[in-house]
């Protein structure tokens, strides 16, 4: 990957990082302002379920933030764009769709196939 491509992906990852942080801040505010003391049991149950979903959403966003930071670190150390398992290039199309990708298309497909086979054996 050349310097221009790396600069493009760094910028894209930094934008994604900012967007993700903003989404986390919004979700945290929603959690903090949730009214879990409704008089009606049904309303309280709905509010608690919404709060639980918001917490799950926030947790997923925190995981995404970590992947973004790992990708930025890989750009710095020169390993960005290479499969962590095989060492093969991941490919620009895959990175454009998923800039935090750590596996090549072939390796990811192989792992998913193994998971499907494992589930069938259970």
Tell me what pLDDT residue 122 has: 62
Please tell me the CATH superfamily of domain 3-121, with its number: DksA, coiled-coil domain (1.20.120.910)
18: pLDDT confidence band, cut at 50, 70 and 90? very high
**Over residues 14-36, mean pLDDT:** 90
Q: Is the pLDDT of residue 2 over 80?
A: yes
Encode burial over 78-89: b for 16+ CB neighbours within 10 A, e otherwise: eebbbbeeeeee
DSSP state of 89: B
**Over residues 16-21, mean pLDDT:** 97
> Which range (23-37, 73-87, 105-119) has the least confidence?
23-37
Query: What tens digit of pLDDT does each residue of 41-82 get?
Result: 888 888 888 889 999 999 999 999 999 999 999 999 999 999
Distance of CA 10 to CAs 24, 61, 68, 93, Å?
Answer: 21, 19, 10, 16
User: Measured at the alpha carbon of residue 9, what is the angle toward residues 5 and 13, in degrees to the nearest 5?
Assistant: 170
Classified as helix, coil or strand, 1 is coil
What are the sequence ranges of the domains in the chain?
3-121
Q: Is the pLDDT of residue 38 over 70?
A: no
40: pLDDT confidence band, cut at 50, 70 and 90? confident
Q: Is the pTM of this model over 0.75?
A: yes
């Amino acid at each position: 990957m050349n310097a221009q491509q790396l600069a493009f992906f760094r910028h894209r990852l930094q934008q994604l990082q900012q967007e993700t942080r903003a989404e986390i801040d919004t979700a945290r505010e929603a959690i903090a302002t949730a009214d879990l003391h409704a008089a009606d049991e049904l309303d309280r149950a709905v509010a608690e379920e919404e709060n639980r979903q918001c917490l799950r959403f926030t947790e997923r966003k925190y995981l995404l933030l970590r992947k973004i930071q790992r990708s930025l670190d890989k750009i710095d150390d020169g390993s960005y764009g290479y499969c962590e398992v095989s060492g093969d290039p991941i490919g620009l199309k895959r990175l454009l769709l998923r800039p935090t990708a750590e596996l090549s298309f072939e390796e990811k497909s192989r792992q998913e196939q193994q998971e499907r086979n494992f589930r069938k054996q259970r």
